[in-house]
Amino acid sequence: MLAIDAGTTGVTAIVFDHRGRVCSRAYAEFTQHYPRAGWVEHDAEEILMVTLRVIGEALRDGRIRSDDLQGIGITNQRETVVLWDRASGQPLGRAIVWQDRRTAKFCDALRDRGLEAWLQERTGLLIDPYFSATKLHWLLEQDPDLRERARSGTIAFGTIDSWLVFRLSGLRAHVTDYSNASRTQLYNLHELRWDPDILDLLDIPAALLPEVMPSSWIYAHTDPELFPGSRPIPIAGIAGDQQAALFGQACHEPGMAKNTYGTGSFVLQHTGTTAVPSRQRLLTTIAWGIGDEPVEYAQEGAIFVTGAAVQWLRDGLGMIASATETEALARSVADNEGVYFVPALTGLGAPHWDPHARGLLIGLTRGTGKAQVARAVLESIAYQTRDVLEAMQRDSGIRLSELRCDGGAALNPVLMQFQADILDSSVVVPETVETTALGAAYLAGLATGFWGDRTELARHWRVRNRYTPGLPEPERERLYRRWLRAVDLSRGWARE
């Protein structure tokens, strides 16, 4: 089963065997465009090219013929907006990435009109530039011609999943799944349809939108021109990357939760077949829909910048040559020596929600060097996770006994131990940390009959490491209190 994980900074292709083990894997990054402060864009055509390249590499390295593939599952960075021409399949300008803050003022105006509770009730989401809705509105406002073409149905909108399926299917299928639709802020998560009132509010023509399908379903087959010599392969699974990771972590029961450490970090807790509204500024979202079964929901704490902060140390500051160096640097000091980093590089997400917050490094002395900064960056990942878990526990009244962790940084023992310490709960890392891709493969494999049911999938989940908390309470709370002070200082900075 082939999984394509089209993330924010790169695309991974992984072929899994019947026991959910990785047979072969390839990864490549693509270009990040920052045309102005707070703007982040991608070239959708480049994402497609990189996707085809990593698929080719994974197949070649694993000596796998495309004919051997039973199906393809797609998982993706969510919310990112792509517009394309239906006839040619060509993107219309660059994609606006979920991290992009250009609609912050427009969001303020919507909030000032008192629309937040109304939008949250229908979509489960708060008002923030993060979601697709205001970005799509911005694109159509910029160019009246685009809105006209949108009305006449000659152009299409999609998140990255829709875009890839459209092109991989030879321009045949314009679809998305429940989990991705629920991140656009245009989808009514109770009525399971694009919300006509929200479309009216933002002047978004319905003709632009993809058909919303279950997350496990045969949507289309691959275009033989893209996979020469192969029979058409069923594209059978789609889920937003965080929902796919929840599925890959076998968090199938209400109350189970995971955290994925990627570009950002996203804590999701399964809530069963009910959409539980949040009173703590978390998001209510669709986890998935399997075939004709009722859709399942999750609560989410979305943290925008975690791994991206490490990437910024590497690419922005040139302070390290590779992300793994942070581990040794952080280990080389006994504690953070009072240095804190608030990675509000694209504003702050849950539970703070401040698009005007900006990054902050505080507590510097003449003795501060790379080690303290690297440690502050790693610690910020763990503090932000505590921020959202505390909100989640206040919402549900249930204290989590353990958190399942995955993503690249789950292999960093310094971070994982600190995470357990600062949460004062166990952190468990499974054998396969590529649970995002695994979840997409599972969804596709359930649709094609490669796997029978979820019980079979849950049996594949095995513990790699368990971290138990060990920091005395006064120390833990002292560290965390200072973090909260630093967060306060970062707020509102870009409002001017």
Helix axes 370-396, 413-423, angle to 10 degrees: 40
Give min distance, CB of 441 to ligand G3P, in A: 16
Q: Is 221 in the site for ligand G3P (CB under 6 A)?
A: no
Q: Is 242 in the site for ligand G3P (CB under 6 A)?
A: yes
Give min distance, CB of 409 to ligand G3P, in A: 11
Length of the chain measured in residues: 496
Single residue of 195, 241, 354, 379 touching ligand G3P by CB under 6 A? 241
CA proximity to 444, closest of 85, 103, 161, 34: 161
Give min distance, CB of 419 to ligand G3P, in A: 17
| Phi, psi dihedrals of residue 367, rounded to the nearest 5° | -85, -5
| Dihedral of alpha carbons 443, 445, 446, 447, sign | positive
CA proximity to 131, closest of 312, 288, 347, 280: 347
Single residue of 16, 98, 187, 247 touching ligand G3P by CB under 6 A? 98
Query: Encoding tokens for residue 224?
Result: 């033989």
- The region of 56-64, 139-147, 235-243, 447-455 touching ligand G3P under the rule CB under 6 A is 235-243
Cα–Cα distance measured from residue 155 to residue 211, given in angstroms and rounded to the nearest whole number: 14
Cα–Cα distance measured from residue 239 to residue 320, given in angstroms and rounded to the nearest whole number: 33
Single residue of 237, 240, 445, 469 touching ligand G3P by CB under 6 A? 240
| Phi, psi dihedrals of residue 342, rounded to the nearest 5° | -105, 110
Looking at residue 245, its amino acid is A
Give min distance, CB of 476 to ligand G3P, in A: 27
Q: Is 157 in the site for ligand G3P (CB under 6 A)?
A: no
Taking the least distance from each CB to ligand G3P, the nearer of 439 and 469 is 439
Which single residue is written with the structure tokens 């023509």?
Answer: 205
User: 360 pairs with which residues across the strands?
Assistant: 342
Cα–Cα distance measured from residue 266 to residue 273, given in angstroms and rounded to the nearest whole number: 20
CA proximity to 379, closest of 488, 302, 486: 486
- The region of 116-124, 240-248, 276-284, 287-295 touching ligand G3P under the rule CB under 6 A is 240-248
**Is the separation of the CB atoms in 269 and 298 below 8 Å?**
yes
Taking the least distance from each CB to ligand G3P, the nearer of 76 and 222 is 76
Q: Is 234 in the site for ligand G3P (CB under 6 A)?
A: no
Cα–Cα distance measured from residue 420 to residue 101, given in angstroms and rounded to the nearest whole number: 32
Torsion angle in degrees (nearest 10) through CA of 414, 416, 422, 426: -140
Cα–Cα distance measured from residue 273 to residue 287, given in angstroms and rounded to the nearest whole number: 9
Number of chain positions touching ligand G3P (CB under 6 A): 12
Give min distance, CB of 65 to ligand G3P, in A: 30
Q: Is 78 in the site for ligand G3P (CB under 6 A)?
A: yes
- The region of 141-149, 192-200, 239-247, 418-426 touching ligand G3P under the rule CB under 6 A is 239-247
Taking the least distance from each CB to ligand G3P, the nearer of 29 and 148 is 29
Taking the least distance from each CB to ligand G3P, the nearer of 177 and 421 is 177
Q: Is 79 in the site for ligand G3P (CB under 6 A)?
A: yes
Taking the least distance from each CB to ligand G3P, the nearer of 66 and 99 is 99
Give min distance, CB of 125 to ligand G3P, in A: 11
Q: Is 8 in the site for ligand G3P (CB under 6 A)?
A: yes
Give min distance, CB of 491 to ligand G3P, in A: 21
SS3 191: coil
Single residue of 24, 70, 77, 380 touching ligand G3P by CB under 6 A? 77
Stretch 251-270 residues interacting with ligand G3P (CB under 6 A): 262-264
Task: Name the DSSP class of 326.
Answer: H
Give min distance, CB of 296 to ligand G3P, in A: 18
Residue 332 CB contacts under 8 Å (≥ 6 apart), including other chains: 371
Binding positions for ligand G3P, rule: CB under 6 A:
7-8, 77-79, 98, 240-242, 262-264
